[in-house]
Amino acid sequence: MLVAFIIMGGAVFGLSVFMMRYAVITNDQSDRTLAYDLATARLEAVKGASLYRRIDSVFNNTSETWPTGDMYNGFTRQTWARRTLTGQQDFQTVTVQVSGRRLRQPIRITTVIARF
């Protein structure tokens, strides 16, 4: 009977450790998904800008933080836009970084927008 309790205790302990790790991984992945949503939403807003030549002046070096109670609470989104204008090239490089909550590393997405 004692051996059965020891085996059962080991199994329950192992299962509880597994469940705790699973919960942490699930929460981390949920935060990463929300961060990617924020970054993608910003890039889509930039792509939808009506005037190409104003992208860098409107979006460069902007930052947003969400208040408590919002689904994105605890995240900070930063946007950088840089225009490259040479003799034959004209494009905007836009980078969005989302940090905060339990993210181990910030989420960073960059896109290049050609002149339109």
Domains and CATH numbers, the chain: 2-114 (3.30.1300)
pLDDT score of 27 more than 80: no
What pLDDT is recorded for position 14? 83
What pLDDT is recorded for position 17? 81
Helix (H, G, I), strand (E, B) or coil at 59: helix
Residues 66-74 have a mean pLDDT of 86
Neighbours of 112 (CB within 10 A): 9
Quickly count helices (H) and strands (E) in the chain.
2, 4
Neighbours of 107 (CB within 10 A): 22
List the structure tokens of 31. 């935060």
Q: What is the DSSP letter of 1?
A: -
List the structure tokens of 22. 């699973």
Please state the length of the chain.
116
